[in-house]
Chains A and B, each alone.
Chain A
Amino acid sequence: MTPEFITYAFAFPILGVFLGLVYKGIDRRVSARLTSRIGPPIRQPFWDVGKLLLKETIVPENAVAWLFNAMPLVAFASSMTLLLYIPFGILKAPLEGYGDLVVILYLLTLQSLAMAIGGFASGSPFSSVGAQREMVLMMSYEMPLATVIVGFALVYRSFSLTTIATTPVWNMVGPLAGIGILLLLVALLIVTPAELAKLPFDIAEAETEIAEGMLAEYSGRNLALFYLSDAVRGFAMAAIEVVLFIPFTLSSIFNLSLTGPALYIVEGLWFLFKVLVVYLLAITLVRTSFARFRIEQASRVFWVYVNIIALVGLALVWMGV
């Protein structure tokens, strides 16, 4: 436990929450502009969280109270832990060496699971239907997600995210495996909105059908924690995609020879820019241009089409490496 490590351990989650909320603000603004509205100011998510924290936290009468109150904490804790595994640009992840891509996969799943359990525990029919949908959706998209991870393990012979971040995947593979990696990217991009419960896969929270589903009974502090973990998850997911597929540093593209703080600042901003681009393309644009699927339609999309894409990609990678 070096002091540096402890600084990292505190700075990363705070930075992550801040960035998650900023990206959420940008997402809402851009989505509004795409639909010819003005949209809320970028700092609106901060106000939302602040207001939710001030509000009364209501536990429904027929809810399983301890489970109902624990699940927002679990979701928030797992999203905070998730942040410690993500290498910010050229910075190393604080928990590097203590876990890898598989842990990240589990931490992402844990948040959806926490929301589903919270939904079941709230004792409302809307939440129960929402939680059931979330479980079905999770069973559908976990398989392609795991396939993507296995594909990377095949290339690097390792699950470590820092190893992957330091050597761009495109330098490791030939043309055949390159096409495979591209297919894996497509599969991951389709999984992203489902993982984040965004349109067209926000089936578990469908507003017009089941009145926000799993979150229907949550209020006040509990809802604020879910809101924060949702914001962090969006940022983390985009960051993981950047680390996996576009890890190129600015210095390696332009042959810059920066050193010291300048290097960290430039590379840090470059990383945030890449995350923003992925965020806007994979989340904002998609959620603005699609309607919600029905649950069995979404299941079919993942089990048949996305699985085929991911498995073909995996096969190509396996043949190419």
Chain B
Amino acid sequence: MMAKTQYYVPVGPIHPALKEPIRVEAEVEGERIVRVDVKRGFAHRGIEYMGMKRNAIQTLYLSERICGICSISHPYAFVIGSEKALGIEAPPRAQYIRPIIAELERIHSHILWLGVVAHEMGFDSLLFWTWKGREKVLDLLELLTGNRINYSVFMIGGVRRDIKESQIKAIKDAIDFYRIFTEEMKNVFLSDPVYKARTRGVAQLSREMALKLNVCGPVARAAGLRMDVRQDNPYDAYADIEVRAIVPQDIVGEARGDAYDITLVRLYEIEQSLDIIEFCIENMPEGRIMAIPNYVVLLSKIKKTKGEAIGMHEAPRGEVVHYFKYDGTRDGPAVWKVVAPSYNNINSWAPLLLGAEVADIPIVVAYIDPCMCCNDRVAVVRDRDGRIMDYSLIHRKAVEKTMRLKRELGVRA
């Protein structure tokens, strides 16, 4: 039909397979990808800069807004790091409440991913079914915290809301529901022949590649690496539970690191989360929920603190790392640096897509559960000759453009 054999297929920044902006540029020969380039930086919002202008409590709630799904993971890393820097410790009851909220979030995030990956392969009925099941955990989170997302329940040195006796019953009901629902999901996802055909051998990451590319979270675990912040660097109640990283070789004997294995890992992690929640509500100690209940006292303590710390948490997608520096002059972090799991995991796209088929693009893109707004920390603008434009130049150009548009549209200033 046409003499041209190579096509340039641009996926993104706007594309049905992507929920957030990123660009994958693929050179395609027939159905096979022969060259691939990944470009990021479309969702940069300067959120770290904003955080460095606010006080620590405001920044904590700003950190929830980094990502809509991990809206407990970023605050978790934030409070762990801040507490280390301040030298305070949350009361035992708060240390048990935090994992409950965090694991509920993991459940809803993993079910969300299962639905998304089903949609990417055109299995929309599975998407609707899994997301219908996800509603219950969102309702439970609303009951516990007041919101379906952005829970605003953590505080440096504790939590802001207690879990009452009546809510424990609701949690137990939800656990019973999800024990059955996870079993059903395992049957559907792991034994469906079409699902297996589309995921077995797709996005296959070997152990060596996983180490080389520095991937983390479920992606690394699916490749057989036993890494999990809750296991390697336990904090709060996780230290009492002895969380073990879920790896496929423990479940089916061998780890292949493909999209099927990652489904396996995520499904079993939902069960692990249920176990953790169950342990937490059974062993929850009585007592206070805040180390320093008065915010003014807390802020003045932060203002007097000088030091730096790293806070880590195992988010549903991998490890979240927050770095802080309090310099003793203001009541917020002088330096705040966020490293989100997708930043490492997106590294795996280019090697995995090379030699893959066009039909595999959505699965390779989706299997790490990417979160663009988590990982875009810097945006570099270049002019036509490739020179980096500095901030004042971009600002001047933006003002000039606004003026020009106003003139053209006849809008008075």
Contacts and interface: CB of A to CB of B under 8 A. Distances in A.
Interface stretch (A120-128, A154-162, A219-227): A120-128
B9 interface: yes
A95 B97 CA distance: 75
Interface in B88-125: 118-125
B361 interface: yes
Contacts of A294: 197-198, 357, 359-360
Residue from A202, A206, A288 having most chain B Cβ neighbours under 10 A? A206
Given A126-B9, A200-B194, A290-B194, A208 B16 contact: yes
B359 A206 contact: yes
Contact of A202 (B28, B122, B132, B358): B122
A3 B9 CA distance: 54
B31 A129 contact: yes
Contacts of A35: 124-125, 128-129
Contact of A128 (B7, B192, B360, B362): B7
A199 interface: yes
A129 B194 CA distance: 22
Contact of A207 (B28, B122, B129, B194): B122
Interface in B1-34: 1-2, 7-10, 15-17, 28, 30-31
Interface string A108-137: 000000000000100001101101110000
Nearest to B194: A291
A208 B194 contact: no
A203 B194 CA distance: 14
Nearest to A203: B359
Contacts of B10: 125
Contacts, number: 87
B17 A208 contact: yes
Residue from A132, A208, A293 having most chain B Cβ neighbours under 10 A? A208
A129 B118 CA distance: 22
B279 interface: no
Contacts of B2: 120, 128
Nearest to B17: A208
A209 B125 contact: no
B111 to A, nearest CB: 15
Interface in B45-98: none
B16 A292 contact: no
B119 A208 contact: yes
A31 B223 CA distance: 37
B7 A291 contact: no
A289 interface: yes
A125 B7 contact: yes
Given A34-B125, A35-B128, A295-B359, A125 B28 contact: yes
Interface in A258-309: 288-297
Interface in A211-239: 211
B195 interface: yes
B125 A210 contact: no
Contacts of A210: 9, 358
B32 to A, nearest CB: 11
Interface string A188-207: 00000000000110110011
Interface residues of A, number: 32
Contacts of A199: 122
B128 to A, nearest CB: 4
B126 interface: yes
Nearest to B123: A291
Contacts of B31: 129, 132-133, 295-296
Contacts of A206: 122, 359
Contact of A291 (B1, B198, B361): B198
Given A125-B7, A209-B361, A292 B17 contact: no
B14 to A, nearest CB: 9
Contact of A209 (B1, B7, B17, B123): B17
A137 to B, nearest CB: 12
A293 B1 contact: no
A211 B125 CA distance: 19
A210 B33 CA distance: 13
Nearest to B14: A211
B122 A208 contact: yes
A226 to B, nearest CB: 18
A295 B132 CA distance: 30
A206 B124 CA distance: 12
A208 B120 contact: yes
B125 A288 contact: yes
B201 to A, nearest CB: 11
A116 to B, nearest CB: 9
A125 B128 contact: no
Interface string B159-194: 000000000000000000000000000000000101
Interface in B121-159: 121-126, 128-129, 132
A298 B125 CA distance: 20
Given A125-B7, A208-B120, 20 more contacts: A34-B125, A36-B129, A128-B2, A199-B122, A200-B122, A203-B359, A206-B359, A207-B122, A208-B121, A290-B194, A291-B123, A291-B126, A291-B198, A292-B121, A293-B194, A293-B197, A294-B357, A294-B360, A295-B357, A297-B198
22 contacts: A35-B125, A36-B129, A120-B2, A125-B8, A128-B2, A128-B7, A129-B28, A129-B31, A133-B31, A199-B122, A200-B194, A206-B122, A207-B122, A210-B358, A211-B15, A291-B126, A292-B123, A292-B198, A293-B198, A294-B197, A295-B359, A296-B357
Interchain residue pairs A-B with the least CB separation, the first 5 = A292-B122, A291-B123, A35-B128, A125-B7, A208-B17
